[in-house]
Structure 1
């Protein structure tokens, strides 16, 4: 299994073309647009891809260290062209042209060409026998891993060629999209979307995982900057890649009985550390959501649950000996204030959903979707915190270790409303995980969730699939015979649906949020 956060760690440029040609990674390899026009992307979202006219349109990305130092590379992009060039070739993406570092191009024969320069020589290959289909969005990935050059179409290897060596260094030319880097020619006629450049050579499994991820429209939950499901690790499930490093905490069953899907902390020296990042430290407001259970309250002092710069840094959630959760925030003028959940006491040995909010007017604490306590708290959160995000102990003084279990931690850079918090609680209270290991090597996956119409069901071949609305009415059923099936809910009203998959004498149920 590969997560999008794993991809994000190795990605040195990502152009989603969502209204501009800015790089979505922290490397800020932003592109300057010359003539290319924003158009609808492969999901028909407006202003989310670029069209090039084949005459003088291109995008220029200035040279940078992040683009020019890796020994290996993976270039991923989506493309559609109305026709092939009559003679010569379209330059799709070029880093130093054909003799600089690498290029992806499309000649008149319609087979994409992948050219790389090593310290020894220059070599190219094409996708023979695969020809790029016209007027069709196609996912193309080109890889140099030090042993081979590979070209993939839609997640499947189209061609490979032995190609030993590391990429040439010292290229001084810009990265160019839609034309040759150096000679101002070979202009592309067609559309490009979702270009990613990685600083390593992807495996076939990773290329397929990337294709599957990008083949369905990703509906990003507004404001969610970190999400720790603890499904086998402490990785962040958002594209921000705020991954945690685990120190001693142990994977255990979650609140639904799923193995290795929550973390237990021993109260002695266990914690999880998340390095500081811009996405965690720049918002004016915050919502913190988590599930926890504790066997006992601390005798003196308090458990630090989750801390962003400790009590005097930015915010913290803690649990003192009296059993009432405490929410502490520091605002921009330097004032520090806390509140507790009085009169609500956290129940022992019981999974409880806790949400803490700072919205610029109040601090609020919710238990299981219901407001437990509120306190007036004006101001925006303090900026400039340099400490890490810490789960299970104090950020700065190495103390106040937590004894208990955590699951499903979410951090938003916005303040959720009471209605949104109740909806979140109801959604997370249903024991229906995304992936269930009927086959531990190839677990059944149901995605994306939420969705705007299409749902993919992976690794559930030879299963019976049924979909029910929130009232329990059967809305559709079919026999799934393939490893990757699709459900189309585009003609149904928005709301909550339940997908039931019967396979190998077991039933999997997944709650799906259909957005309209």
Structure 2
């Protein structure tokens, strides 16, 4: 539906000049001040401004008494009593006389929310004294357009000269019940300049509405919506007279809203007022739909002007071939025409814009530039125009058969960006989409419960949706936090682009307050404080404690996991140092390149009592130093001969090449006198490989180059490489901006690039690396695209767009379990029915909670499972995530993590066995099954408990020798690794309990007393019957893996098992070529 159609017929021609122009959105309009000789509110709401010393002056069209001048000392306009809701927009034109010693306020509202020019010439938006934002640099003496929208969500959006500038998330307290223009409320900052066309709305305007405010109020001099009449709706009164034409439905299906011409005798005669004359700049815009076959080579004019017999006429017409097909658009003058091939269909609407700057004529079809030519067309001052025909002085002829709509005339050359926007706006109520939305954030940080629920109004159903993550539905569900962009198009081909941001949940955080134990003692403790999250909290310590405090801790590495009421989880790994522990330092060698795992850590221990033993948390290694490391964080425990332990976290990075320091000297217009100097930062020396257009350069500098896009690869001394793209434009070249880059599906060609061009001297021509010469590109695959835009002066602008692929949706493991055969962690995922998948990457959490390191890639055609050979599930549970990488190299975000179930078992004082476990992470489960093994019974399920329980007491175990336990939970559905067996449950590590006293080797001639047994950490060893003064002690886990080695220098000594999880360990003492083994229970 078009605006004003219901009131057109009751207005006299005299009153039309005072109407609100059609480019001013009337929905929510609270105040409109065109300053036509006064400060009246022309919106009809009665908010007239009170003038204080401001003087009427010429507006930006040089029309007298149509703007106000402010003297910089005492002039201002005051408006009072506005009644705004929580949303609002203000728009105005201003021209300043340059910076002054103090700020120059353009508008100020109650609550000190203002827009002003500071003394450096910057436009500033400020909520005094809370915040202020620099918006743009203004040019004195030039008219600029500013629009600022304020939403109830505390989002402030700023537009400058019709273009979206930026958005801010600021709270604002200004009521704006009163407004003052040209001064602030404190009367200290006056404007020295001019203001015009102030408009205020009680809502936020859309991007397209602001764009038309700028471009259609900038040089629009006539507008004909053709809503059953030929009135000029620009506000300038250039009304036309009908020549018997009729009216039909427009391209939106609205009846009586487009002019119909029969091709015989119907036309519309236009006005002579305000039309471009001589060789002045002009643009003509219209929509047409040819209804019947045109005569080949005929002269059916859509629009013509001039042409009084002097040979000065110009016209716009489609041209048909001999067979009647529409094959060409023609923009002519004095029978010297710009004819451009462009195939069109009868019965289909087309948007046409022609421009002429006095020397160059251009044609645009459906927002795209199809060609230009150099012409000299003169227009007489007294000539008029004709729609649907032409008149060379002998009467109307060349009658058009079809429909015309939304004809507009401008006294300027429209830019490519403006023309593209006009096409996508679609008319006087342009593609008027109303989009409201509800954005849902996930409950937990990084969760996948995010969503965007859209409601679409306006436009013409059905609607199509194209999201930047590849989704084609109206709404998004189960997505991760981040930026999302959707292009919405309707049945008429109108479209709009909307950007959304799903905020992440506020992350839970832990503060651990440790109390270090004394050397060899278990008198340490730790407490935890939780920030964020939802009460109540559940606590799980790796030593089995389940309250806010863990006590009786020996020196060692511990993990605490806290779950909140929403099921969100946070964990932290920390170490408790013994008093008098060794002092540790590390020399780190970073990985030489990304993806190459050759990092190293060289540990140096001092203090305490040598010798030292080492235990690395990530894989249980007992080596002092580590090599072949990937970037990440590593934690080591170093224990001295007295059992005093110290801990250290070490970060291994990766060497990189920094290419941020690039200096470009722009070439002069059309010449090859530019230069690029690259100053990399990294490990030199560097080598340089430039693209061919750099003339074979091999150094860091290329000289004497023209405007173009240059590609560079820099290689460092480690043979690692970094790439960059450098776009070099001429001085005074047009400015190219990216309007939209719609990503493509992998191995498909459904991407597109939409650019905007401004500045320079229109018209513009385009030369893409694909060979295309249109402004925008469609049907694109993933990759780099660059364009050279050449303006009318021959100045070239270079622009590069890296068109991404659609990021695959995140996937998750379906389970992580402890393999019953190997005792290692097994990760399983399902491939699903996805196509064009290259491989899967598995990541494991390192010693820093929440930090995941890449560990393994599994090709798509391989089994979708992986066994982690380095993680020890007896020590604690391990977290994993999996990603998907498609054949184009696009990697999905992380999905839900999965953490193995961790079980601790210890022997009670009455022979019972105590089982303690933590939560499995990755899916919900109602029940935990408890499995027990004894040689006399084999494996059996002895009980099941609810998932909200985390401990169990086995009161009557059949015996301790060979006694083992495994916990089992079952996922919501069977988890299948492709080409493998089904996995219908996930299991914990084995919790093993053994008799409290070990048996020595029968052939040993000496004995060893090991106590206490069971122990919480410190094990005393007393040797008898041997005179050696040096002994070797080895500690093995239940699977026979050596996890500790230590030398003893006395027959009475001790070792510390505090760093190890509860369970059974084997202590082997070697002396004089003989060995004694003892089993020890670590509580």
Q: Please, what TM-score do these two structures have when normalized by structure 1? A: 0.47
Structure with the greater alpha carbon radius of gyration: 2
Q: TM-score normalized by structure 2?
A: 0.25
